[in-house]
Amino acid sequence: MRSKIQRRSVRVRIGIRWGLATGEIRNTLLLVVVAVAILIPDGDGALGQRSTGTTAQTPLFTAIDLTPGGFTDAHAWGISQGQQVGDGGGPATGGLHALLWRGNAASVMDLNPSVFGSSAAHGICGGEQVGFGSGSAVGGNEHALLWRGGAASVVDLHPRGFDGSGIQGTSGRQQVGYGSDPTTGGNEHPLLWRGSAASVVNLQPPGFIRYSRATGVSGGQQVGFGILPASGPYENMHALLWRGSAASVVDLHPRGFISSLAWGVSGGQQVGYGVQTIAGGLVGGSHALLWRGSVNSMVDLTPSGLESSVAFGTNGEEQVGRIGGRAVLWRGNPASVVNLHAFLPPGFPDSTAMAIDSNGDIVGYATRSDQSDHAFLWRRNASRPPTTREQGPTGC
């Protein structure tokens, strides 16, 4: 029988894969609402891709498969200063394990603590990794975890008063994620930590109900989403930005969208996606969105002629995510899109880019035809302009 965290990992993968194709928000972070198929044009031309190389014909990126030997699935969720984090599993692990890499599959370090049967790492900044773990020792519930480079370094950040908890991102000084509140029937609240369980701050904004999370943090800003009382047949989810407290919340939800979510933040930029309606009130495709601190600053990153895209990460200058079934990179506008999928080896029909660091290196995963996933690092071969926007003290 799969553990709770293994089932969650499956839902994450399915949610990202299908949520991007249908424009719905459907994963562990989002509730199932509808199932609408959106057709996405194939080919580099559909993404506005003009070249995959530099002026000297050197490929802009080299794709490196991080999947360790003996693993049947692996995903990379975060990247910082030459290190990558994620999760994977196979016969050798007996369950999902949090993983740390230093640029190649051979460098992998298993972060799964002995007291936890399963774990996953979702964020990294400098020498700090964050995620969650589950096991019989903690009653099968998820606990927010922080590591500093090894399984033995783990710190349990699970706060009192919550049934379960997990961490989605870190800036090196602050960690963000969620906690399940038993007094409200298990509804999740967005949480902020500063390195210890006792430091937790509940970011749940007034007026939002049921289910909220913080998904990213950088430079004193936190992003995520909250759900308002539903006013129609679809979930009324809003992208949110905080600056350290529930009272500081800024609603980033743009007009013309029925739902929105902010996933990543860095250098004063916030990225995520929104869902629109089309003729007849049907749900349309998701649109990758970029903000700079206010709802009026929103930029729709979806290239003309395409209907489904999402953005998951930013380094303050560039943004990464997915259009249709392909990992992509933007530089602040829809015309700048680069097809990262083109750098992958043959045999992967589907890919997603999840995070980008200050050097411009990118992580994510790609899916084979048999539906197994491989963690990938897109290592940038050409130098990029230095990031000029304000970031955290470690560049995360």
Domain residue extents for the chain = 4-380
The per-residue DSSP string of 40-101 comes to: ---SGGGGT---SB-TTS-BSEEEEE-PPTT-SEEEEEEEETTEEEEEEE-TTTSS-EEEEE
> How many Cβ atoms from other residues are within 10 Å of residue 232's Cβ?
9
Token representation of residue 84: 């990558």
d(CA 301, CA 361): 20
Is the separation of the CB atoms in 356 and 80 below 8 Å?
Answer: no
pLDDT for res 206: 87
List of residues 6+ apart from 10 with CB closer than 8 A: 2
pLDDT for res 234: 53
CA proximity to 285, closest of 20, 107, 68, 105: 20
Burial grade of 56 (CB within 10 A; 0-12, 13-18, 19 or more):
exposed
pLDDT for res 50: 39
pLDDT for res 101: 98
Give the CA distances from residue 156 to residues 134, 175, 238, 250, in Å, rounded to whole numbers and listed in that order.
11, 12, 30, 30
List of residues 6+ apart from 45 with CB closer than 8 A: none
CA proximity to 100, closest of 72, 71, 80: 80
For the segment 184-201, what is each residue's pLDDT rounded down to a tens digit? 777 899 999 999 999 999
What end-to-end distance do the CA atoms of the chain give, in Å? 38
pLDDT for res 151: 97
Would you write out the chain's pLDDT as a tens digit for each of its 396 residues?
333 333 344 334 323 332 332 233 323 333 222 222 222 233 333 454 434 555 457 899 999 999 999 999 999 999 999 999 999 999 888 899 999 999 999 999 999 999 999 999 999 999 999 999 999 888 889 999 999 999 999 999 999 999 999 999 999 999 999 999 887 777 899 999 999 999 999 999 988 876 899 999 999 999 999 988 765 545 689 999 999 999 999 999 999 899 999 999 999 999 999 998 765 555 678 999 999 999 999 999 999 888 799 999 999 999 999 999 999 999 999 999 999 999 999 999 999 999 999 999 999 999 999 999 999 999 999 876 555 555 555 568
Token representation of residue 170: 């870190």
**Whole-prediction pTM value?**
0.87
d(CA 366, CA 341): 9
- Torsion angle in degrees (nearest 10) through CA of 136, 137, 140, 143: -150
d(CA 182, CA 180): 6
Q: What φ, ψ does residue 104 adopt, rounded to 5°?
A: -160, 165
Token representation of residue 138: 């903690």
Looking at the DSSP assignment, which residues form a beta bridge with residue 155? 146
CATH architecture of 4-380: 7 Propeller (2.130)
For residue 140, what is the DSSP state?
T
For residue 163, what is the DSSP state?
S
d(CA 262, CA 270): 7
Is the separation of the CB atoms in 130 and 166 below 8 Å?
Answer: no
SS3 294: coil
Looking at the DSSP assignment, which residues form a beta bridge with residue 300? 289
Is the separation of the CB atoms in 226 and 267 below 8 Å?
Answer: no
For the segment 262-310, what is each residue's pLDDT rounded down to a tens digit? 999 999 999 999 998 765 555 678 999 999 999 999 999 999 888 799 9
Residue with tokens 């000297």: 56
pLDDT for res 43: 34
Looking at the DSSP assignment, which residues form a beta bridge with residue 159? none
List of residues 6+ apart from 26 with CB closer than 8 A: 14, 15, 18, 19, 32, 33
